[in-house]
Amino acid sequence: MQLEKSIIDEANHKQQAAHQRKFDFVAADINGLDTIIQKISDFNIAIPSWALGTGGTRFGRFSGGGEPRSLEEKIEDVGLIHALNKSSNSISLHIPWDIPKNAASIKALAAQLGLHFDAVNSNTFQDQPDQQYSYKYGSLHHVDKAVRKQAVEHNIEVINYGIELDSKALSVWLSDGSNFPGQLNMRGAFERTLESLHEIYDALPADWKVWIEYKPYEPNFYSTTIGDWGQSYLLASKLGKKAQTLVDLGHHLGSTNIEQIVSLLLMEGKLAGFHFNDSKYGDDDLTVGSINPYQLFLIFNELVEGMDARGLNHATGIGWMIDASHNIKDPIEDLLQSVEAIKIAYAQALLVDQPALVQAQQNNDVVLAQEILQHAYRTDVRPLLAEARLRSGGALNPLAIYRQQTIRKQLIEERGALAVSTGL
């Protein structure tokens, strides 16, 4: 299903006066207002195809209903989100869950909804029914050359699907690791991984990147072969300029200073982009901003400062994607909340008085530096986001329209209450 523009316009019209009052209030104190609104408008976050269905844990999964049954329906769901928030203009596909049988028609469908294709994702953390070798003991790091070869070929196949869709990056998350001490020679595993990645790297088109994700644990619980940013960076620097490190917010040990990692990867030209989510314990994959929104702001503060220092375009300089799991929320609502939280953090970071901050840092005025950051963070920037949506043709209040239009109910009617999307 698609949402008619007139519905959005009508809803916006009713809220216009209330919005204007709020916007005028916050706008009054902002220098360069239009530039900031434009930056907020330009900032889009890709939706991964697997985030449109209900997620679960090893203990079970409680299905929602009306989940997309095909790649086309996934694209339609992203189209709905984008129509509402004008902030999610791309989708990130996962192979083999989303093999585009007819790339041309898939691209046409996406284009009609204002969408394009973000990074394509390979999967060597699960066995597929028709697969010759098992990934039980790893893929790109496997001790058996034949298994590695199969995994390399899968990645190259994913690149080829991506080329058809005008994607420009391969995103590699490797679950390879070990559950027990002794299981693995960790040096050997690293060296084999590097060798495999080299083969994949060599298959990349000239204008592509490979994004190397890291994660300390889960599904392996003793070691992970690409376990932290240092290991990902080491691989990326050995591979070459097309290889960079992807940061997933949930993929860190407790208390890790993620913003420092972001700052240093930007410094080294090795920050590929982000997988956004939030967490309290491990890789909880919760709605972005639902647990620690200040940390998200601090990360964006580093991003804005660091990207500006390198002359990178905020919207396109690196990759932005949500990677969350919707175990108990309607996936579309969850994604709307996540996008909102990301853009709030971004807008707050844009409000940081950078010259004053630099001066406070130069003076070691720690109190003032904190005041400067917290002034931006404590500002209620939601009217700025609403205005940016309004100017782009989106909804002042996306979630309200989604609910008023009973979209989930319609999707269930269309797709069934038991429709289960591919994913975790």
Asked if residue 31 binds its own copies (CB under 8 A), the reply is no
Q: How far apart are the first and last CA of the chain?
A: 24
Sign of CA dihedral 265, 268, 270, 271: positive
Q: How far apart are CA 222 and CA 206, in angstroms?
A: 37
Closest approach of its own copies to the CB of residue 262, in Å: 9
Nearer to its own copies (CB atom), residue 116 or residue 403: 403
Q: Please report, as residue ranges, which positions from 316 to 345 form the binding site for its own copies (by CB under 8 A).
A: 325, 327-330, 333-334, 337, 344
**If you compute the radius of gyration of the chain from its CA atoms, what whole number of angstroms results?**
22
Q: How far apart are CA 49 and CA 30, in angstroms?
A: 37
Asked if residue 219 binds its own copies (CB under 8 A), the reply is yes
Q: Please report, as residue ranges, which positions from 63 to 122 form the binding site for its own copies (by CB under 8 A).
A: none
Asked if residue 56 binds its own copies (CB under 8 A), the reply is yes
Nearer to its own copies (CB atom), residue 104 or residue 418: 418
Interacting stretch for its own copies, rule CB under 8 A, among 36-44, 58-66, 91-99, 162-170? Answer: 58-66
Q: Which residues are CB-contacts of 165 (< 8 A; sequence separation ≥ 6)?
A: 93, 100, 103, 106, 107, 117, 120
Closest approach of its own copies to the CB of residue 280, in Å: 6
Sign of CA dihedral 326, 327, 331, 334: negative
Closest approach of its own copies to the CB of residue 97, in Å: 13
Q: How far apart are CA 69 and CA 33, in angstroms?
A: 43
Interacting stretch for its own copies, rule CB under 8 A, among 72-80, 103-111, 151-159, 175-183? Answer: 175-183
Asked if residue 187 binds its own copies (CB under 8 A), the reply is yes
The answer to whether residues 11 and 282 touch, using CB atoms and an 8 Å cutoff, is no
Asked if residue 157 binds its own copies (CB under 8 A), the reply is no
Q: Please report, as residue ranges, which positions from 293 to 312 form the binding site for its own copies (by CB under 8 A).
A: 293-295, 298, 301-302, 305-306, 309
Binds its own copies by CB under 8 A, chosen from 89, 196, 223, 405: 223
In the numeric block, the tokens 């597929």 are attached to 128
Closest approach of its own copies to the CB of residue 121, in Å: 13
Nearer to its own copies (CB atom), residue 55 or residue 100: 55
Q: How far apart are CA 52 and CA 68, in angstroms?
A: 7
Q: Please report, as residue ranges, which positions from 340 to 399 form the binding site for its own copies (by CB under 8 A).
A: 344, 357-358, 360-362, 364, 366-367, 369-374, 377-380, 382, 399
Peptide bond into 219 cis (omega under 30): yes
Q: How far is CA 140 from CA 183, 186, 209, in A?
A: 16, 13, 18
Closest of 373, 372, 266, 349 to residue 300, by C-alpha = 349
Interacting stretch for its own copies, rule CB under 8 A, among 79-87, 109-117, 186-194, 196-204? Answer: 186-194
Closest approach of its own copies to the CB of residue 166, in Å: 29
Asked if residue 185 binds its own copies (CB under 8 A), the reply is yes
Closest approach of its own copies to the CB of residue 143, in Å: 5
Binds its own copies by CB under 8 A, chosen from 280, 404, 409, 417: 280
Size of interface with its own copies, in residues (CB under 8 A) = 106
Interacting stretch for its own copies, rule CB under 8 A, among 65-73, 106-114, 176-184, 409-417? Answer: 176-184
Asked if residue 20 binds its own copies (CB under 8 A), the reply is no
Backbone torsions φ then ψ of 85, nearest 5 degrees: -110, -10
Q: Which residues are CB-contacts of 36 (< 8 A; sequence separation ≥ 6)?
A: 30, 347, 350, 351, 384
Nearer to its own copies (CB atom), residue 72 or residue 365: 365
Peptide bond into 96 cis (omega under 30): yes
Binds its own copies by CB under 8 A, chosen from 268, 308, 413, 414: 268
**Strands 120-121 and 169-172, how do they pair?**
parallel
User: Which DSSP state fits 203?
Assistant: T
Beta pairing partners, 177: 224
Closest approach of its own copies to the CB of residue 126, in Å: 4
